[in-house]
Structures are given as C-alpha cells and as structure tokens.
C-alpha cells in the first residue's frame, strides 16, 4: 500500500482509497473513474505535477492529490 | 421545443452547438471553456418547417453530482427547466468515462439521444465501437457524429433522431442501478462488449513524449516565452503590420473622400468634428484591427492544438506558491482575448478567496483592446519590437503572482485546494475554425469602434474644441478647452510618472470606458490621423514623427503604457468583477489595489528609466515618492494585519485541537 506519489512509471496499479477529508474531490474522482478497484497508471512526472491515466484519459494532478490517492499493485 | 446539449468537458458540445445553430461561441481544446448556458435556434436546414428548435449549450460535467459551479449549472438546468430532449454527447475516444453521465441522464425521465462524437478520432486510433450494441444496451438511439466536419457529419441524422425521440418518448428505463458502483459495473461490462481497442491507453505515446518537453519543469517556461514572442512577432512585426499598411491606406482614402465630399462651404467646426474627431479617432483605433486579428488568429490556433492545458501544468507550481492553483490559469489565458469572459470563467474555481483573487488579477493580462495601446507605443517609440508586447505579457503574469501573494497576506486566508485537470490530446489546429472565430471577434471590434468609441471620440473632440463659454478655442491656446481644464488637475498627478500632460490624462480616463479609447483620444487630442507610415512597412520614420508630436521620452511612453495596462480595466470588466466577486468590499479593494499597483509601477518605470538613460531622476520625483510610499505603506499595514489574523486563527485552532 502506498500513495500515487510513490508509484513507478508505466505500471498499472489498483486504486485502494482516496485519503482526504474533502468529500467533493472524492466524488469528482469517482466520476472520472478513479475509485477503489479501478486501474490507474502514472505516465510521467512533469513540473510539480503527476500525469496519470485513468480509463482512457490523461490528467494532470498536483502532489497533494497524488499523495491522497492510495494504491496497491 | 427545447433541446439540451450535455456531456463531459471538452467532448465538443460548443463545437456541435455552433455547427447546429450557426453561432460563433468560443471553443477551445481544453475543459471549462463554456461556463454559462447558451441558447439559440437550430438552423432551418436541420429543422423541419414550422418547427422552432431551441438548442441549449451547457457547461461540461463529468457527472450530475456537483463538484464545480459550472457543473451545477448543467445539473440545475436539466433538473429544473426539464428540456424536451437531451442530446448527450459522448466522446468516442473516452467511451467508458462518458457513459457515467449518460447513465445518470437516462434516469431523469427525459428522452435522451446519444451523439457518439469524435468518432473519426476514435477510428484513427484503431478503436471500433459497436453502435448497435451500445444502443441496445442503453435503450436509446445512438448517432455517430463528427461536428468539426462541414458535411457527412451525422448532424441531420442526429436531429431526426431527436425529433423521433420527442414524439415517442422513452419507453423503458435501464434497470441497472442501485448505486454508483453498480453503475460502473454495468458500464465496464457494456464497454467490454461494445468497444474493441487496438492500443491500451495506458501505453506511452508520442503525445507523452511531447508533454515531457513542453511541460518540462524548467524547459516549459522558455518554451512558453518563445511561443508568446513568436505570436507577437507575427502579429506586430510581420504579417500584422503588412496587413495594417493596406488597411490604413483605405482609412486615409475614406478621410480624403469625406473631405472632398464636404467641400469648402461646410462649417469648419462641423467638418473638423467629422474628419478629425470621428474618422480620425475611430480610424486610429480601427487601424489596429489587422494586428489584433492576426494576434487572435495565432491565439486561436494555440488554444485549438491543446498546448494551453500544458501551460497550466507548467505554471501550477508557481500559482501554488502564491496561494492559487493551476485552475487560475484558464481565466488568465482567456483574459488575453478579453478580460470579461476571463473573469467569468473564474466560476470554475471552488475556493472563494482564490476565485475572487483570480477575478481581480485577470485584468492584468493585456486584452485585445489593450493590444492597440501596446501596438501604438511599440510602433511609435520602440520601432515595433516584439519584445514590448512579450514583456508586457510576462509583466502581466508576474503581477498576477505578486498580486496573489499580497492578497493572500492581506486576507490571511492560507487555504489550499487540490488541482486536477484533464490533458486534452494534441491535434493539428483548424485554420478554418480560427478564421471563423477571428472574424467573429473582428465584427465585435468594429461594432464597438462604430458605437462606444465613435461617441467617445466625438465627445472628446467637442470638449477640446470649445471652452467653458462655448466659444471655439483658439489654435494657439488649446489648454483653454473644457477637456483640458477637466484633465489638467489629473495631469498634475501624472507629472511624477513622466506624462503630466492633459492629453494623456484625458486618454487614460476615456480608457476606462473602453481601452481602445486611449488610442482614439490621443489621435484626436494630438490631431494625428495616421499612426502608421504609409511609405514604408517599418514604422521607424513615421514613428519618430509621431513621437515628436506626442512630446514625451520613450521612458515616459513606456511608463504610460504600463499605467494604462495595469490600472483598473474598462467599466465592463469591472462589472464582471463585481458579479463574480459578489462582495462590495472586495470590489472596492480590487479597484484600489489596481490603481495603486498601476501608479507605483509607472512611477518606477519612469524614474528608474530616466535615471538610467539620463543619469538623473525625472520630474516630480519627490512628490511621486511620497505618493508611492503612502501606497506601499498601506499595502504593508494591511498585509501585517492579515498575517496577524492568520496567526490568531491558527493558534485558536491549535488550542481547540
């Protein structure tokens, strides 16, 4: 178990949980397809952002959010 | 009959809206361009006779649970105003995610027609979607569309399906959901059956390689600077200037034509009003139209190709440092066209302090109207160097950072928020779309020039023609006019900034009505009809002439430029700030802040510039220093108080916990 910020590039992981007290961001991530059980892949780290693939789209998320997304291999 | 367009951000709702209605609403290859709903009638070529089909374009939403304000606009409209039919645009390149919203829409008891858009892009990737299976599983009609194409785009079939859906209604509901997890289970199964993909989207693509360069931690910034410099070179030094030369020729011809038409017998005051006031003033503004059009064209191409979302990624960490997030970049970038839609798009920012701060700082980006001022001063004093415009853009960005930092300290609000943004795929920008959008803006510009700016120029001309006894002012004593006597007290304040002449003061004031007025008023008050040299493409020689007439040094000209760009925006933009900030206190504070920053900056530019170029400080240094010190002191006191408030708040929290 680790956060997305510690993930290896190009390796698909499974989302375990979203660790935040902001319910709305959890719901938002859910709508994008980032929820427990779904796949997530770290594509690259750019500037201070993490580029991830969720379902068929690329998103840029900041470090705080990357740390909040807990994943397992 | 009312039809709503609903779908994920950047799935092409506004492009389809424009295609179906013939409107020219703003589109861009990123999420969150549309922040408000828009209504128009569908073109008659699509609709059956006698039927009035109203199409409503809604901001993008990933789901009906609301995360951002613009998502709630979509939700509220659909739930409260109950459209007759919903066209749900599904991005064929991202089928799985799009269907989440689709299944939510299906539960509302409103007939839904699915438009499977961007089907051409999906096919290019080698994805195949079984439309029949999709339609059967969802129990709604599914029509493949490519709304960027002008023919064979599926749109007539889509409208036919919409009309049929309205007539027959929706027979049965999809019985799949007790909760959202089941919803996804249903979708995953459906997509597994209906979609065949050649490549997994998890694999690295060429796009990701490009991202690594253009959104690189350090490379990203010089690349962005180079892009902006290129845009300015094209619009202000090469193509734009070339076109402007032709254009100004026509304006001069129309001036001569009207002059000869009027003949000798017309009242000279009336003739001067018409020629120098109206044609001269409006002509001076319109003369910059080609430059502005070329700039907008370049910006439209940039927005269309998907690069702007990468700029947001590069800038995010800087915005973070000053208490904003990458989200604040969208308003700032839109603000380079016009501050008003830029300010309106701050609605996508959830955190209220960040939203108000962004609304307050967006006008620091030079908009299209301010571009005419930049072009004028760059041409007249700096031989059309593209660095003038580029540096004004970057100065704008720096001011946004510094401003945000100051405001965070003043408010004592150090709240943070997460940043997440979809990275759209790069695509080759469409020249056709850019041309259409540029002509839309050119039309708006000409309308503005023919109304507000025309009236302002006429009023300015009348006020400088007459004195308070309503006598025509003698040519030798222009300072006795009404305009001069009104502007003179203000001009005194500008002495420390290097442009303490009533003409400049008057132009700065009319600039609040519309920034193009600065150019118009200068043209009228200095009686210059042509800011471009007719003989040569380069403005150098003609420029020197205009420079002598204006009678200020290049340093003072730069200070004046800075003053006009970074003081409060036009009244319309202030109105937009008012409605997005929803606080009188913030609005007053914002205007005072902008005035203070603009004055201080112009003072620094003039005095330091003069010190460097001539070796001694400029006129009015002492008085100016006093004013600027007062402004800075006010900021410092307010910031200290804000920081204290923050400390008290954190210590209270510490005690509580």
Distance CA B80, CA B450 (A): 40
Enumerate the H helices of B85-172 as residue ranges. Answer: 95-105, 119-124, 131-138, 155-168
Q: Are residues B166 and B315 in the same domain?
A: no
Taking only the tens place, the pLDDT of each residue in B98-132 is: 999 999 898 888 899 999 999 999 998 889 999 99
- Contact (CB<8Å) A60/B316: yes
- Please report whether residue B22 resides in a domain: yes
Residue B535 has pLDDT above 50, yes or no: no
Name the pTM for this structure: 0.86
Tell me: pLDDT of B69 over 80.
no
Distance in angstroms (rounded) separating the CA atoms of residues B9 and B422:
9
Distance CA B166, CA B113 (A): 10
A→B interface, C-beta within 8 Å: 10, 12, 20, 22, 24-25, 27-33, 35, 38-39, 41, 43-44, 46-49, 51, 53-62, 64-65, 68
Q: What local confidence, expressed as pLDDT, does residue B175 receive?
A: 57
Is there a domain that residue B372 lies in?
A: yes
- Is the CB of residue B209 less than 8 Å away from at least one CB of chain A? no
What's the residue count for chain A? 73
Residues B225 and B265 in one domain: yes
**Where in the sequence is the domain holding B531, given as residue range(s)?**
221-646
Query: Which B residues 254-293 touch A at CB under 8 Å?
Result: none
- Contact assignment for A48 to B320 by CB distance below 8 Å: yes
Over residues B362-375, mean pLDDT: 91
Distance from A27 to chain B by nearest Cα, in Å?
7
User: B184 and A32: CB-CB below 8 Å?
Assistant: no
Residue B533 reports pLDDT greater than 80: no
Span B596-622, mean pLDDT? 93
Q: Do B316 and A49 touch (CB under 8 A)?
A: yes
Q: Give helix B386-411 / helix B307-321 axis angle, nearest 10°.
A: 40
Per the structure, how many domains does chain A have? 1
User: Is B279 a member of any domain?
Assistant: yes
Chain B residues lying within 8 Å of A41, measured CB to CB: 202
Question: B78 CB near a chain A CB, below 8 Å?
Answer: no
Interchain contact, A60 vs B101, CB within 8 Å: no
**Residue A39: closest C-alpha in chain B:** B202
Contacts of residue B419 in chain A, CB cutoff 8 Å?
A: 49, 60-62, 64-65
Identify the domain boundary among B196, B213, B245: B196
In a domain, B655, yes or no: no
Residues of B within 8 A of A18 (CB-CB) are none
Rounded alpha-carbon distances, angstroms, from residue A40 to A3, A70, B123, B424, B567:
12, 11, 24, 17, 46
CB-nearest partner of A49 from B101, B207, B313: B313
B327 and B458 co-located in one domain = yes
Which residues 499-528 on chain B approach chain A with CB closer than 8 angstroms? none
Q: How close B123 gets to chain A, by Cα (Å)?
A: 14
Which tokens in the block code for residue B206? Answer: 């060429």
Tell whether B582 is within 8 A of chain A (Cβ). Answer: no
What kind and span of H or E run contains B2? strand B2-7
Q: Give residue-wise pLDDT tens across range B288-342.
A: 888 889 988 998 899 889 998 899 889 888 898 999 987 888 888 888 888 998 9
Task: Tell me if B206 is assigned to some domain.
Answer: no
Share the mean pLDDT of chain B: 87
Contact A46 B96 (CB under 8 A): no
pLDDT-based confidence at B545, cuts 50/70/90?
A: low
Split at pLDDT 50, 70, 90, the class of B645 is confident
* Record: contact A47-B201, CB cut-off 8 A: no
At B478 the pLDDT is 80
> Which pLDDT belongs to residue B537?
32
Evaluate whether ipTM surpasses 0.85. yes
pLDDT of residue B176: 59
Contact flag A35-B220 (C-beta cutoff 8 Å): no
- Flag if B202 and A39 touch (Cβ within 8 Å): yes
CB contact under 8 A, B95 and A56: yes
Of B290, B284, B239, nearest to B550 by C-alpha is B284
Residues B125 and B234 in one domain: no
Residues of B in contact with A44 (CB under 8 A): 208, 211-212
Q: Which of B201, B212, B312 sits opposite A56 (nearest CB)?
A: B201
Q: How confident is the model at residue B541 (pLDDT cuts 50, 70, 90)?
A: very low
Number of domains present in the structure of chain B: 2
Last residue of a domain, one of B134, B161, B196: B196
Q: Which of A60, A65, A67 to mutate to test the interface with B (most CBs of B within 10 A)?
A: A60
Confidence of residue B173 (pLDDT cuts 50, 70, 90): low
Residues B325 and B363 in one domain: yes
Check residue B177 and give its pLDDT: 63
In the prediction, which pLDDT does B170 show? 64
Say whether both B245 and B191 belong to one domain: no
What tens digit of pLDDT does each residue of B247-260 get? 878 888 888 888 88
Please report residues of A whose CB lies closer than 8 A to that of B422. 57-60
Q: Distance of CA B627 to CAs A11, A68, B497, B612, Å?
A: 60, 48, 11, 22
| B550 pLDDT tier (thresholds 50, 70, 90) | confident
Nearest to B122 by CA among B94, B89, B155: B94
- Nearest chain B Cα distance for residue A71, angstroms: 16
Q: Test B96 with A48 for CB contact under 8 angstroms.
A: no
Interface size between A and B, measured as CB pairs under 8 A: 128
* Interchain pair A61, B419: CB under 8 A: yes
Q: Alpha-carbon Rg of chain B, whole angstroms?
A: 28
B559: β partners: none
pLDDT at B547: 67
Do B8 and B125 belong together in one domain? yes
Query: Token pair of B371, please?
Result: 């571009």
Residue in chain B closest to A23 (alpha carbons) equals B67
H helix intervals, A1-73: 23-32, 63-68
pLDDT recorded at residue B235: 82
Cβ <8 Å between B201 and A22: no
Q: Name the residue facing A27 among B65, B314, B418 (closest C-beta).
A: B65
CA–CA distance, B48 with B167 (Å, rounded to integer): 14
The answer to whether residue B652 is domain-embedded is: no
Residue B595 confidence class, pLDDT cut points 50, 70, 90 = very high
Q: How close A72 comes to chain B (CA, Å)?
A: 17
Q: What is the pLDDT of residues B377-432, one digit of tens each?
A: 888 888 777 888 889 988 999 999 999 999 999 998 888 888 888 999 999 998 98
Examine the pLDDT at B594 and tell me if it is beyond 50.
Answer: yes
| B338 and B408 assigned to the same domain | yes
Interface test with B, best of A15, A54, A56 (most B CBs within 10 A): A56
Its domain, for residue A23, covers 2-72
Average pLDDT over residues B203-228: 91
pLDDT computed for residue B115 by the predictor: 96
Q: Which residue has better confidence, B173 or B15?
A: B15
Chain B residues with beta carbon closer than 8 angstroms to that of A39: 202
Q: Does B312 touch chain A (CB under 8 A)?
A: yes
CATH number at residue A30: 2.30.30.90
Q: Do A55 and B97 touch (CB under 8 A)?
A: yes
Q: Are residues B100 and B237 in the same domain?
A: no
Q: Is B120 on the interface with A (CB under 8 A)?
A: no
**B208 found inside a domain:** no
CB distance A62–B419 less than 8 Å? Answer: yes
B114 and B169 together in one domain: yes
Which regions of A1-73 does DSSP assign to beta strands (E)?
Answer: 2-3, 12-18, 39-46, 49-54, 57-62, 69-72
For residue B41, what is the domain's CATH number? Answer: 3.40.50.300
Residues 6+ positions from B401 with CB-CB distance below 8 Å: B318, B319, B321, B322
Q: Are B89 and B115 in contact (CB under 8 A)?
A: yes
B 408-427: CB under 8 A from A: 416, 418-423, 425
């Amino acid at each position: 178990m680790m956060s997305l910020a510690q993930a290896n590039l190009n390796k698909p992981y499974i989302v375990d949980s979203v660790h935040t007290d902001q319910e709305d961001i959890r719901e938002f991530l859910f709508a994008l397809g980032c929820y427990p059980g779904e796949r997530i892949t770290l594509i690259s780290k750019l500037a201070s952002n993490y580029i991830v693939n969720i379902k068929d789209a690329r998103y840029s998320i900041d470090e705080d959010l990357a740390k909040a997304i807990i994943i397992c291999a | 009959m009312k039809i709503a367009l609903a779908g994920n951000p950047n799935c092409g709702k506004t492009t389809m809206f424009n295609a179906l209605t013939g409107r020219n609403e703003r589109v861009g290859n990123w999420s969150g361009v549309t922040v408000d709903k828009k209504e128009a009638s569908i073109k008659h070529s699509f609709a059956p006779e006698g039927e009035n089909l109203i199409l409503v374009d809604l901001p993008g939403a990933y789901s009906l649970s609301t995360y951002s304000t613009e998502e709630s606009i979509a939700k509220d409209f659909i739930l409260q105003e109950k459209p007759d039919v919903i066209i749900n645009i599904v991005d064929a390149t991202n089928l799985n995610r799009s269907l989440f919203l689709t299944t939510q829409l299906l539960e509302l008891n409103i007939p839904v027609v699915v438009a499977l858009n961007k089907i051409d892009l999906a096919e290019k990737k080698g994805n195949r979607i079984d439309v029949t299976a999709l339609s059967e599983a969802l129990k709604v009609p599914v029509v493949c569309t490519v709304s960027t194409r002008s023919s064979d785009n599926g749109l007539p079939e889509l409208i036919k399906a919409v009309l049929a859906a309205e007539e027959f209604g929706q027979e049965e509901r999809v019985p799949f959901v007790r909760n959202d997890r089941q919803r996804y289970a249903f979708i995953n199964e459906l997509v597994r059956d209906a979609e065949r993909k050649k490549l997994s989207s998890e694999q690295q693509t060429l796009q990701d390689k490009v991202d690594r360069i253009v959104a690189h931690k350090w490379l990203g910034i010089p690349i962005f600077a180079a892009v902006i410099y290129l845009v300015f070179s094209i619009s202000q030094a090469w193509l734009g200037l070339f076109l402007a030369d032709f254009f100004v020729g026509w304006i001069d011809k129309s001036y001569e034509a009207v002059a000869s038409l009027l003949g000798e017998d017309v009242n000279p005051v009336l003739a001067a009003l018409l020629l120098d006031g109206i044609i001269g003033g409006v002509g001076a503004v319109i003369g910059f139209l080609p430059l502005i059009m070329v700039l907008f064209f370049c910006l439209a191409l940039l927005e269309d190709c998907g690069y702007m979302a990468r700029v947001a990624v590069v800038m995010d960490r800087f915005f973070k440092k000053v208490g904003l997030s990458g989200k604040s970049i969208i308003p700032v970038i839109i603000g380079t066209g016009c501050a008003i839609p830029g300010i309106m798009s701050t609605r996508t920012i959830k955190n209220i302090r960040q939203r108000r701060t962004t609304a307050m700082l967006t006008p620091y980006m030079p908009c299209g109207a301010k571009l005419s001022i930049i072009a004028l001063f760059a041409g007249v004093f700096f031989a059309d160097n593209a660095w003038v415009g580029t540096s004004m853009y970057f100065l704008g960005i720096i001011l946004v950072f510094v401003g945000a930092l100051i405001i965070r300290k003043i408010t004592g609000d150090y709240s943070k928020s997460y940043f997440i943004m979809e990275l759209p795929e790069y695509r080759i920008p469409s020249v056709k779309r850019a041309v259409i959008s540029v002509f839309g803006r050119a039309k708006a510009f000409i309308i503005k020039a023919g109304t507000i700016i025309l009236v302002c120029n006429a009023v300015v001309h009348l006020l400088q023609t007459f004195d308070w006894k309503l006598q025509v002012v003698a040519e030798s004593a222009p300072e006795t006019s009404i305009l001069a006597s009104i502007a003179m007290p203000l001009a005194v304040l500008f002495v420390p900034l290097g442009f303490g002449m009533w003409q400049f003061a008057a132009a700065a004031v009319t600039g609040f009505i519309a920034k193009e007025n600065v150019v118009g008023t200068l043209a009228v008050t200095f009686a210059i009809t042509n800011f471009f040299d007719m003989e040569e493409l380069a403005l150098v020689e003609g420029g020197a002439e205009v420079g002598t007439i204006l009678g200020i040094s290049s340093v003072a000209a730069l200070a004046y430029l800075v003053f006009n760009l970074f003081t409060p925006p036009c009244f319309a933009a202030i109105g937009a700030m008012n409605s997005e900030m929803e606080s009188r206190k913030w609005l007053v504070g914002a205007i005072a802040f902008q005035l203070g920053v603009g004055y201080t900056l112009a003072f620094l530019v003039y005095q330091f510039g003069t010190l460097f170029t001539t070796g001694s400080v400029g006129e009015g240094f002492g008085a100016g220093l006093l004013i600027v010190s007062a402004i800075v002191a006010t900021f410092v006191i307010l910031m200290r108080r804000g920081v204290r408030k923050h400390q008290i708040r954190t210590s209270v929290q510490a005690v509580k916990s």
